[in-house]
């Protein structure tokens, strides 16, 4: 089985975070509708060419709770075998904001979660990101 390398995927660039945070402010006086809640990854995959690696099946996990006050809690776990030899265990404590049909995360953990916009699709949040290692696909479900 092809093992994807994830170091480039899990370490984000500061420039992307700055660009996202500067262009996506929401009105803190308007309560979010339907977005807050506990989410867990139901899709967490890395596709490269015609091969896709199901990271969930190989032990990775992603869970995050979006509170009404725009704070977040949660965890991103990726086994060492998938992350270039060093396991990833990052807290997703921080904040979230909504702009139209998109959710953006912010927090101290420098991972793809804070750099990728998540589209609101009913009770799910979906994201895709092109990386040097392939295309990352994530679906978070309530």
Residue 2 is assigned to a structural domain of this protein: no
Print the domain residue range for 100.
Answer: 7-26+34-141
Residue 1 is assigned to a structural domain of this protein: no
pLDDT in tens, 90-113: 999 999 999 999 999 999 999 999
Residue 83 is assigned to a structural domain of this protein: yes
Place of tokens 């995050």: 64
**Any idea what the CATH number is for the domain that residue 82 is in?**
2.40.128
pLDDT in tens, 41-50: 999 999 988 8
**By three-state DSSP, how is residue 21 classified?**
helix
* Measured distance CA(86)–CA(64) in Å, rounded: 22
Average pLDDT value over all residues in the chain: 83
pLDDT band (50, 70, 90) for residue 19? very low
Residue 90 is assigned to a structural domain of this protein: yes
Domain count, the chain: 1
Angle ∠(71,76,80) on CA atoms, nearest 5: 160
Residue 95 is assigned to a structural domain of this protein: yes
- Percent of the chain beyond pLDDT 70? 77
pLDDT in tens, 33-74: 689 999 999 999 999 888 999 999 999 999 999 999 999 999
Residue 52 is assigned to a structural domain of this protein: yes
């Amino acid at each position: 089985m092809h093992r994807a390398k994830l170091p480039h995927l899990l370490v984000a660039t500061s420039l992307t975070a700055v660009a996202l945070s500067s262009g996506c402010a929401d009105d803190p006086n308007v309560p979010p509708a339907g977005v807050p809640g506990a989410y867990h990854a139901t899709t967490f995959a890395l596709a490269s060419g015609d091969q896709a690696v199901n990271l969930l099946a190989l032990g990775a996990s992603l869970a995050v709770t979006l509170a009404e006050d725009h704070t977040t809690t949660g965890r991103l776990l990726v086994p060492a075998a998938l992350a270039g030899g060093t396991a990833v265990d990052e807290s997703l404590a921080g904040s979230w904001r909504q702009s139209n049909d998109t959710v953006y995360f912010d927090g101290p953990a420098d991972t793809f979660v804070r750099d990728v916009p998540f589209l609101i699709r009913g009770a799910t949040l979906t994201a895709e990101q092109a990386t040097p290692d392939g295309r990352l696909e994530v679906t978070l479900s309530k």
